[in-house]
Amino acid sequence: MEIREAREALKLYFGYDQFRPMQEDIVSNILKGKDVVVLMPTGGGKSICYQVPAVVKKGICVVVSPLIALMKDQVEALLVNGIPAAYINSSQGAEEQYKIENQCLDNQLKLLYVSPEKLLSAGFFAFLKRLNISLFAVDEAHCISAWGHDFRPEYTQLRALKQQFPQVPVVALTATADRLTQKDIQEQLHLQNPEVFVASFDRPNINLSVRPGRDRYNRIRDFLDKRQGQPGIIYCLSRKSTESLAGKLKKDGYSVTFYHAGMSPNQRAKAQEDFLRDNVQIVCATIAFGMGIDKSNVRWVIHYNLPKNIEGYYQEIGRAGRDGAKSDALLFYSYADVMSMRNMLSEGERGQKSQLELQLVKLERMQQYAEAAICRRRILLQYFGETMEKPCGNCDICRNPPVTFDGTLLAQKALSAIARTQEQANMGLLVDVLRGSRNSQVLQAGFDKIKTYGAGRDISPMDWQRYLHQMINAGLIELAYDQNYTLKLTEQSRRVLFENRKVELVKFEEVRQTEEVPLVKARPKKELIKDALFDKLRALRKRLADEQNVPPYVVFSDATLQEMAAERPTNRISMLAIGGVGAQKFDRYGEDFMNEIMHFITEEQDKGNKIKGATHLVTFEAYKQGFTPEQIAQQRNLNLATIYSHIAALYEQGYDIRIGNFLSKAEYQVIARAIEKMGPDAKLKDLFELLGEAYDYYKIRLSLAVYKKQNS
């Protein structure tokens, strides 16, 4: 089997011109009959890796997936692409299962999704033996490993696959990065000398940014107002805060719901469904939300609070932008969050000292990420053991490199205050001392008498906290967690105090100001038009999806709609060139989307906005409404010849034009002979003369269109 066939299937069924780099290797190995392990981040495009081989290979591909809730949507998406598929799981009655089994036996299906329970149930292997199985795909394969974060004991029995079907290749897929799990997968499934593919965990389309945790609510509103109608998730720390934030947003007119593990299964299913179907824009949720949510058009994820660790954070932001289109991850960070997270962890892990230490170290890494002054993606990838050559250019730090200044004097003031308070002050108290505050704690301790009292009045308390943090991160100050969070001097701080070592600090005010600039900058008109069309297409998608009772992203992904909005395809050829528009989807939705685009273009034209290449579409709109070429020419104040050239072009591009109304068969036959003689690139004038000036120019023009179309 050749990879060429696979490429054709990719275009025909999925509408994509190319495999992503690793996909092609994976597919060709599967086609060769090898066992394969695929580690790819969420959104990396795992499904294509087995769906394309399933289509081109003879027989049926059996997909084992633990996420029953997702099977329906996955099958739906395949059917929409014209690939016969079905699922069998416990949610169905016996009769339905029987029906599907018969379809399998009749060789009607290319893919069958089953839950592991069903696969291992009595008699099922015997049933499978009667089929011609091309491939087993084990999705969420990390569930097989006790090391992983989602161990499912029944998965370990999947080793029976290789024992019972030694000839059938197995592809195991997971989004887990962890190498231990990867080894476990191979061993447990008894894979035979498998090819292992580890994709980069980079998700370059997700823009990363961190903002100070001040005034979060209003900042979120600003953020949302720039993303009207774009679905997204706000992760909150507690169940209560998901509800209160959602309530507040609702009152302010946003389309929002909430989700947490304390709700009834029905309530949860409803919230999830509403979000999946784009009935609500925003979900305020605890981290319970998202497992097994396969919504590719999530455009942003906000973390209202600092997450516990980078693994969790990465998984959560990974729910944005699975379709590869631009998305945002915004994290709010405040020191108070670190403190409350520390407390939560300490309470949770009481009695398990080593576990607690591990959690605290992980939290610290998270904090470092939030406070970083270098490319954030670099830090994330580093954490997962990948190195990046260059800064990413798509995080807040890359786009607004922090401005540093010589903070030696400032640092000396702080360190000296720490020394003079006998290292007994915590951060709040130290800031009070530096700012010369007269509160009782300061006075009681007699700190108003020390030399550095009030030495930092010119700096706001908030900024003091920030600078102190930077100093903690740089090792200039130690934060004694075990001594009421008091601040201590270190070896390095002594060097600053006594040896005049220089200290570079990041200027916060500067960062904040420059950060706002690109956001308020007006978008160019071209972009605005694109956005407006995107909104229209999205509304159409929602309408079609609701009619067919599928989630909107099953119709087309955001990435596909964005490409449509940019390219504005209005005929078959240009529509099929859009990524994500395969033959089947074109037949099903192409017309609707082309009409919407054409409608949009003519509307813009009417508003006086010139859109390139659209003039013949305006003619087409008028033609569809029944106007004659003469009438159109008059309406549009154009030459009749121009209108006929539009009609010829439209016909050639496959628009529904009744050419016979303008050109009889007999006329065409004569003109076509002349064209044959002179070739299709002949000048109109020459043809006109060759035909003895007996036919109008426009008839010759139309004949050329018919001739070219017939001979293309």
CB of 207 to Zn ion, least distance (A): 9
Q: How far apart are CA 475 and CA 479, in angstroms?
A: 10
CB of 47 to ligand ADP, least distance (A): 3
CB of 595 to ligand ADP, least distance (A): 24
Verify binding: residue 40, ligand ADP, rule CB under 6 A. yes
Binding mask 512-541 for ligand ADP (x = CB under 6 A): ------------------------------
Say which entry of Zn ion, ligand ADP, none residue 560 contacts (CB below 5 to 8 A, set by partner kind): none
Q: Of 318 and 456, which CB lies nearer to ligand ADP in the complex structure?
A: 318
Q: Which residue has its beta carbon closest to ligand ADP?
A: 45
Say which entry of ligand ADP, Zn ion, none residue 618 contacts (CB below 5 to 8 A, set by partner kind): none
Q: How many residues bind ligand ADP (CB under 6 A)?
A: 19
Q: Residue 681, SS3?
A: coil
CB of 416 to Zn ion, least distance (A): 36
Burial of 112 (0-12, 13-18, 19+ CB in 10 A): buried
Say which entry of Zn ion, ligand ADP, none residue 352 contacts (CB below 5 to 8 A, set by partner kind): none
Other CB atoms within 10 A of residue 425 CB: 24
Q: How far apart are CA 294 and CA 398, in angstroms?
A: 30
Say which entry of ligand ADP, Zn ion, none residue 395 contacts (CB below 5 to 8 A, set by partner kind): Zn ion
**Near ligand ADP by CB under 6 A: residue from 6, 7, 23, 662:** 23
Per-residue tokens: 26: 């994976």
CA 667 from chain centre, in angstroms, equals 55
Say which entry of Zn ion, ligand ADP, none residue 382 contacts (CB below 5 to 8 A, set by partner kind): none
Per-residue tokens: 456: 């930092």
Q: Of 40 and 544, which CB lies nearer to ligand ADP in the complex structure?
A: 40
Verify binding: residue 561, ligand ADP, rule CB under 6 A. no
Q: How far apart are CA 323 and CA 518, in angstroms?
A: 25
Q: How far apart are CA 461 and CA 388, in angstroms?
A: 36
**Chain contacts with Zn ion (rule: CB under 5 A):** 375, 377, 391-392, 395, 398
Say which entry of ligand ADP, Zn ion, none residue 398 contacts (CB below 5 to 8 A, set by partner kind): Zn ion
Contacts of 309 (CB under 8 A, 6+ apart): 359, 362, 363, 365, 366
Say which entry of ligand ADP, Zn ion, none residue 48 contacts (CB below 5 to 8 A, set by partner kind): ligand ADP
Q: What are phi and psi of 374, to 5 degrees?
A: -120, 165
CB of 46 to ligand ADP, least distance (A): 3
Verify binding: residue 297, ligand ADP, rule CB under 6 A. no
Contacts of 597 (CB under 8 A, 6+ apart): 533, 537, 564, 568, 569, 570
**Near ligand ADP by CB under 6 A: residue from 42, 115, 412, 416:** 42
- DSSP string spanning 233-293? EEE-SSHHHHHHHHHHHHHTT--EEEE-TTS-HHHHHHHHHHHHTTSSSEEEE-TTTTTT-
Q: What single DSSP character describes residue 395?
A: B
Verify binding: residue 296, ligand ADP, rule CB under 6 A. yes
CB of 374 to Zn ion, least distance (A): 8
Choices 1-9, 40-48, 453-461, 543-551 (CB under 6 A): range interacting with ligand ADP: 40-48
CB of 331 to Zn ion, least distance (A): 14
**Near ligand ADP by CB under 6 A: residue from 13, 44, 185, 598:** 44
Q: Of 81 and 416, which CB lies nearer to ligand ADP in the complex structure?
A: 81
**112: nearest Cα among 61, 65, 56:** 61
Verify binding: residue 11, ligand ADP, rule CB under 6 A. no
The answer to whether residues 96 and 46 touch, using CB atoms and an 8 Å cutoff, is no
CB of 74 to ligand ADP, least distance (A): 9
In Å, what is the CA distance from 625 to each residue of 344, 487, 618?
Answer: 67, 78, 11
CA 382 from chain centre, in angstroms, equals 21
CB of 296 to ligand ADP, least distance (A): 4
Say which entry of Zn ion, ligand ADP, none residue 324 contacts (CB below 5 to 8 A, set by partner kind): ligand ADP
CB of 45 to ligand ADP, least distance (A): 3
Q: Of 370 and 657, which CB lies nearer to Zn ion in the complex structure?
A: 370
**410: nearest Cα among 453, 468, 485, 479:** 468
Say which entry of ligand ADP, Zn ion, none residue 29 contacts (CB below 5 to 8 A, set by partner kind): none
**159: nearest Cα among 126, 186, 132:** 186
Q: Of 172 and 310, which CB lies nearer to Zn ion in the complex structure?
A: 310
Q: How far apart are CA 192 and CA 178, in angstroms?
A: 21
- DSSP string spanning 604-631? HHHTT---TT-HHHHHHHHHHTT--HHH
Q: At what angle do helices 461-473 and 427-434 cross, to 10 degrees?
A: 120
Verify binding: residue 116, ligand ADP, rule CB under 6 A. no
**619: nearest Cα among 639, 604, 633, 603:** 633
Verify binding: residue 709, ligand ADP, rule CB under 6 A. no
Say which entry of Zn ion, ligand ADP, none residue 392 contacts (CB below 5 to 8 A, set by partner kind): Zn ion
CB of 519 to Zn ion, least distance (A): 17
| SS3 annotation, 424-477 | CCEHHHHHHHHCCCCCHHHHHCCHHHCCCCCCCCCCCHHHHHHHHHHHHHCCCE
Per CB under 6 A, residues contacting ligand ADP are 16, 18-20, 23, 40, 42-48, 296, 322-324, 557, 579
